Structure 1
Amino acid sequence: MKNASSQNPVSPYCTGCGACIADSDQTLRMDWDVHGFLVPHKISDRPVPELAIKACPFAAAAVGGATDEDKLAEDLFPDAPTSDPEIGRFEQTYIGYSPSHRETSSSGGLATFVFDEVLTQGIATHLFVVLTDGAGYKYRLVEGNADLVTTSKTRYFPVTLQEFFELVPTLDGRIAVSGVACFVKAVRMRQRSFPEFDRKIAFVVGIICGGLKSKYFTDYLADSAGAGARYRHPEYRVKDATASASNYAFSAEGEDGTVHTMKMARVGDMWGTGMFKAKACDFCTDVLTELADISLGDAWLPEYRTDGLGNSVIVTRSRLADDIIRRGIEQGNLHVASCAPSQITSSQRASFLHRRDALKFRIGQARIQGQPVPEVRSRVLKRISFSYALVQIQRELTRSASFTSWRRSRSANGFDRTMRPYRILLKIVTRLNRMLR
């Protein structure tokens, strides 16, 4: 991994979408940073063009480039029958799975089903999706549905849409793309500013995200599983039909070709702790990918947790997306039923609590430290209790320490020893907050 300056020339809150590169006039290049993320690096003495800085979905309010999700959704889905403060604008909400795709996919296999339909119905001629790249993953162009099975897994690995933004203007035909909320926002901002993008982007699938992870996260999991540093083909959501939906495993191929598998429960909570998570994710208010044609995620609900093969929560936002789901139900290709919107928000409640309820506190902390903050929707800002503020402080300390610890040890055992005090203290303040709440 190349070691470069930690000073991001576009924004300190970067998730690596790569939108800035297309507008950078060759002053920027995507590369690995010291924390294991793909971010823009300056490769020229010339100043970075203002257009590149405005392309960032986490642009600061003073920059004037980013438009908040509420305004973008209003333009994208003006006829959506429902608008909810947590879900956003939408047509319908569902829960279920695709029988044909569930076993080879994450959650309920809905993303694979939807992409299959998008191609079959001629909505798009190309897909831009994440595929394997040896020891990691990257976005690639897919023509036809032959490679759909290889696109169907969850990838907790840094990727960038840089090539997408460079490719679309020269592409023959129309394209469908998937992404987490910040990537989707970057795509929609591009459509708003450039007519050729608006014409050629036919469909956007939103993947509900609990936070983007560094490459170090995969390095740590591979070493924990016994695959070592020279691992290949990491798989993050190896299902067990006999276990609960959350009791999935990680696997990776070691240097000798042996596949090493480990239940994720062995390494404990890697999401609530914030370890290896991008800093920008703590300033994202879009829990349910509000700007995608369709939003898909895990049905983390009590009544679905016992199903080890997984189920998906589904939010259709465009009429086209809703037609795809309804047709799939009518033709018997989907085991999906309408659900109450409250079930969708309940399935992601922990994410709402952290990313929205505590955001005002994190913004305050950043300003005290003299750090710039990205533009966020003021309507989501709330005050939190003293006990929850302690959770936020310890969670940030744990997140930050995870990068330093891994760079020093490069060993799962050493990392676990160093991080143990941070995790214990976080568990204590979290339990205290729950008791008081």
Structure 2
Amino acid sequence: MYILNTGDTAFVMLCTALVLLMTPALALFYGGLVPSKNVLTIMMQNFISMGVVALIWIFGGFSLAFGPDLGGVIGDIRFHFALDGVGAAPGAHYARTVPFILFFAYQMMFAVIAPALITGAFAGRLNFKGYLGFLILWMILIYIPVCHWIWGGGFLARLGVADFAGGIVIHVSAGFSALASVLYLGRRAGMAPGARTIPSNLPLVAVGAGLLWFGWFGFNAGGAYAADALASYAFVNTTIAGSIAMLVWLILDWSSRRKPSFSGVLVGAVAGLATITPCAGYVEPWAAIVIGAVGSLICYYAKRVQDRFAFDDALEVWRAHGMGGLTGALLLGLLASPHINAVGASARQFWVQICGVVIVAVYAFVLTLIILWLLSRICNIRVSREEEERGLDESLYGEDAYRL
């Protein structure tokens, strides 16, 4: 029997609010990066996730992710459906000193932002009904099973796969789904291979990046589910990795372009934050320096793979989140310290991490292709060339982000 701790409860409640903030922050971040004619479209896709995912999470999503395990694959939907049995008593999974209903809310915020990350990849190409269908199916068929496999006691958890705050569950699944989506939908109209998206509002990107970084403290430190030393390590590791990755990206950009790039600095910080996410509660602060630097290098040079195969990932979601989460998950196997948490670096742990990353990446990639194929058989999900050239804000919503 676990005892409720009011300090831990207040801490996790704050972290839940911080993670919620990250989805509107992502809307600002993406909204500033896309052309002005598509700002409202991508922000709408991010905000609507907060409503649709909450409904799914209440009516079966949470049950399937965290209900009693069924064969290592999925949770039992008969438990916790419509918040049945989800109350004030502590003792759920990792959250042993906070109310179960708060654990429900905290995990819901992770579920909300996961599909929102993917929107940056297919920006300017998917219509609203297509996005709604994709959002619902992606949550049910990809996010919820993967969440159960690793955090809900599924087969990857039994194998020993570690993921402190979502490097695999969120970033790898979203990143490789993003890659599948751009390959299926094809290039944007008039977008030449290797061409870069011109941001419409860099100050808006900076506001979004700052709020994302702020929210990331709840994203990572909250994974301790207690206001303790483990949360403190995760908190400090988060900002160290983000800072180092930002500086490494600046150096790489400056040396290749002969001038520093503000947008590059912001993207580099996000890549570092994504990389530290799976490791935040498993490594010493010195390792966070290495993780931030290596993550920045991997994500920066992943651009060459993107250019080589000419896939049009508009806001480079696969590069920053997919490769960042993948890199961090593997580095966990090499740098985890048993002095911080129960997992230590070893050859076996590294191999287990490889298995976890490969299984989730392949599953997310293949299932995303199937989801998009099914949706396209039911209705037209891609906007017409005329709508794309005119801009989705006007074509789909009849509204404009800026009236100057």
Question: TM-score per shorter chain, which class?
Answer: under 0.3
Give TM-score scaled by structure 1 length: 0.24
Structure in which a larger fraction of residues adopt helix: 2
Q: Higher strand proportion, which one?
A: 1
Q: RCO greater where, 1 or 2, for CA within 8 Å and sep 6 or more?
A: 2
TM-score by length of 2: 0.26
